[in-house]
Amino acid sequence: MAASWKEVVHKIGENRWEIRRSYQEGMQVPGLIFASESMLSRIWEDQAFQQVVNVSFLPGIVGHSLAMPDIHWGYGFPIGGVAATRVKDGGCLSRRSGLRY
């Protein structure tokens, strides 16, 4: 991992930061973090940033590996992380208990 988030994360809008696919070979989609600049140092230190990258490798992932402003270290996925996958492309469907589709 690089020494600073400033070497890896690119500002693409107000409170929107992108981790480009070129950051790590094999990333299927870019990472997109929604956070203020002042929050990024904490996100970096917590290593939740790396979990955003890890999610970008999921089979069938589409769009981006997303991270909301409350992102922090989780079990595999960062807490506050979001991803969409296509089941037909090897992705999975995850749903909360009690919801009907």
d(CA 77, CA 31) in angstroms, rounded, equals 13
Task: Tell me how far CA of residue 90 lies from CA of 21, 27, 70, in angstroms.
Answer: 20, 15, 28
The string of pLDDT tens digits covering residues 83-100 is 999 988 888 766 543 444
d(CA 90, CA 72) in angstroms, rounded, equals 26
d(CA 40, CA 58) in angstroms, rounded, equals 24
Task: Tell me how far CA of residue 92 lies from CA of 21, 35, 98, in angstroms.
Answer: 21, 27, 18
The string of pLDDT tens digits covering residues 47-94 is 889 999 999 999 999 999 999 998 988 888 888 999 999 988 888 766
